[in-house]
Amino acid sequence: MKKLLSNERGFTLVEMLVVLMIISILLLIAIPNMVKNNEVAGSKGCDATIKLLQTQVHAYEIETKEKPASLDVLETADYIETTVCPNGAPLKIENGKVVEG
């Protein structure tokens, strides 16, 4: 009897095509979910930036006993480093609250 299994060392073309098809299907499922998660992360980043800036507004009020007229006042006084959200939306102070605008 011959040893038929000793000469078989690789994958067949059909096996490779099946693997590539499975990988393609997984990518089709995964990519849209990643895009959606990036959008959610961007909005959460803006919310976190607003909360941080609002905290700095209160710290400025406590230390100077006056409300800042704008975020530029806080930036020049080295309370904050940026006045925009991570998604690029500008922020401003309205009625003592930090809001997008």
Long-range contacts of 54-57 (CB under 8 A, 24+ apart): 54/97, 54/98, 56/80, 57/93, 57/96, 57/98
pLDDT for 34: 78
Q: What share of the chain is helix, strand, coil (3-state, %, to 5)?
A: 60, 10, 30
Q: What is the pLDDT of residue 35?
A: 77
Per-residue pLDDT in tens (0 to 9) along the chain, 101 residues: 555 555 667 788 999 999 999 999 999 988 887 777 777 777 788 889 999 999 999 999 999 999 998 999 999 999 999 889 888 889 999 988 999 87
Per-residue pLDDT at 16: 93
Name the 3-class secondary structure at 76: helix
